[in-house]
Chain A
């Protein structure tokens, strides 16, 4: 795998942004999120660097997905604030693409792959208007990028788990965003899908865009990601993978994941992945 290139791509200047290229794409300050007065994210400060692929890593229940949702404004924030591209999220939504966990939707919904990818255009299209030829064209191109051109008219219930994940990625690409927030994109996918997603993430980064992904598999972090944030309710450490992704920091992050410690939680990983496979995949 040669994608772990040392040479960083030149950061493309982003139009319509008063920010300079070194300022963080996402600034999280003193962020606290609670469910029923129970803090799941506590006092987190995190900067996401522009033009990098950043992993958010931590044990189950560490608040990784919640933090992502807080950045997107999908869960109420108890304290602190988040700025995206230096502004309030609401004014820059069109530039932010979200890829939810595959298991959060009903894949038995009556629709085909192309239609789901076209949903990535809905934000730009705006209220009351319909997707036009150009939107379909963009959606088809994005399906091609994830290697699913032949599946455009396939019912989404008939796609494998990996193909469904790639449809979600294509939907985000169709948004033509500058920041991609992904929740467990590699959970329970096949090798082809994992390769496709990694290649695309690096392509997106090399085009000067920014990717943040909640990630579970510790072994692939150095190969796939430039930066990493270690989260266990509190932020343990964040920065470049060589600086931060150390055994000591990982022990701090996983210290209360049962008696398990680092090794066990790595072994437990395939089990939790397997359980997220939708039953629909077996009914074909």
Chain B
């Protein structure tokens, strides 16, 4: 289905599809790699709050500047996203509210406010209004060549940091207190990682949308964990799963007529997760059931042996 589209259509369609493939490939790779750390550190919901809290900023940026260029809109999104994270931290620091509850509060309040602004914009008579709703569920077909340049730069920086700071990121994720006691400055490593994750979340808002962006951080990492026994292999496989989900989801959505990309990408990623949780060796559910059956059989055999020695078992 994809191949004839690549070969048979005219130049402009090809260029769009190429942008979609490249963009979602970069996005999936980055989400998979950085999401591995989020999942292992049990902090993936911070990315979710960041994404949801970006929506009011995107709308405000549009209302204030009137432009529809991604740079301005995402700058606005970044601003309210970060405000959301700080509010979340302040709530859990200064009140009895637990951090995950604070995440939920900030996420829904900011997202609700964003929807309010979006509705206002759509009911106004502004000529440039259409298309802002692409940030809710994503629209990969709107990726432009200059977006690709920005994405490529962010990706190159992120991958270099992960390679260079691999040992620091590993000990940060496994045992931050121990890292601190060794003088490895987990606070610094953690801030660098947070900055990279902010980058990839902003990068994904246009393609996957604020609602489902977090699943692209979580799903590939969860699936990759099932098949792997080391952090490096988990990151590589998670990146690959992310690319696969991104490309298959985004391409299938651009072939249809204005199908939102986020849900398509998430559907592909979910299938990968379900297969991984069921079928992975060692950690998969099927292999666990198999192991339990083997144990039961061994035990039955042992019982029969005892029986041969003349003891009554039952």
Contacts and interface: CB of A to CB of B under 8 A. Distances in A.
Interface string B166-189: 111011011101111111100000
A123 interface: yes
A129 B184 CA distance: 12
A223 interface: no
B218 to A, nearest CB: 16
Contacts of A119: 170-171, 174-175, 178
A76 to B, nearest CB: 12
Given A110-B231, A155-B229, A90 B174 contact: no
A100 B184 contact: no
A98 interface: yes
B164 interface: yes
A93 B175 contact: no
Interface in A57-99: 69, 72-74, 90, 93-94, 96-98
A13 interface: no
Given A112-B230, A155-B229, A125 B177 contact: no
B40 interface: yes
Given A106-B40, A109-B40, A112-B230, A93 B171 contact: no
A119 B177 CA distance: 12
B165 A93 contact: no
B174 A111 contact: yes
A165 to B, nearest CB: 14
Query: Which range holds the interface residue count of chain A?
Result: 20 to 34
Given A110-B229, A111-B230, A112-B230, A72 B181 contact: yes
B52 interface: no
A192 interface: no
Contact of A175 (B165, B173, B182): B182
> Chain B at the A interface: mostly helix, strand, loop or mixed?
helix
Query: Which range holds the interface residue count of chain B?
Result: 20 to 34
A72 B180 contact: yes
A211 B211 CA distance: 52
B228 interface: yes
B223 interface: no
B225 interface: yes
Nearest to B234: A110
B175 A105 contact: yes
Nearest to A109: B174
Interface string A90-133: 10011011101000111001111001100100110101111100
Contacts of A155: 229
A97 B180 CA distance: 11
B175 A96 contact: no
B182 A105 contact: no
A90 B183 contact: yes
Contact of A104 (B167, B177, B229, B233): B177
B181 A74 contact: yes
Given A110-B230, A111-B230, A128-B165, A122 B180 contact: no
Contact of B167 (A110, A131, A171, A181): A131
A127 B166 CA distance: 10
B178 A93 contact: no
Contact of B184 (A96, A97, A115, A122): A122
Nearest to A124: B182
B82 to A, nearest CB: 25
A109 B181 contact: no
A72 B231 CA distance: 28
Contacts of B233: 110
B177 A94 contact: no
Contacts of B42: 106
Contacts of A112: 229-230
Contact of B231 (A94, A100, A111, A125): A111
Contacts of B166: 130
Given A122-B167, A123-B183, A110 B225 contact: yes
Q: Which of B165, B167, B170, B184 has its CB near the most chain A CB atoms (within 10 A)?
A: B167
A252 to B, nearest CB: 31
A183 B174 CA distance: 17
Nearest to A90: B183
Contacts of B40: 106, 109-110
A150 B170 CA distance: 24
Given A90-B183, A93-B183, A110-B231, A74 B171 contact: no
A96 B182 CA distance: 8
Interface string A170-188: 0100010000010000000
Contacts of A125: 167
Interface string A194-210: 00000000000000000
Contacts of A115: 230
8 closest Cβ pairs, A-B complex: A123-B182, A98-B181, A93-B183, A72-B181, A105-B175, A109-B174, A110-B234, A119-B171
Given A97-B181, A123-B182, A128-B165, 17 more contacts: A69-B177, A73-B181, A74-B180, A93-B183, A109-B231, A110-B40, A110-B230, A111-B229, A111-B230, A116-B174, A119-B170, A122-B171, A122-B182, A122-B184, A127-B184, A130-B166, A155-B229
8 contacts: A74-B180, A96-B181, A105-B175, A109-B173, A110-B231, A111-B231, A127-B165, A171-B178
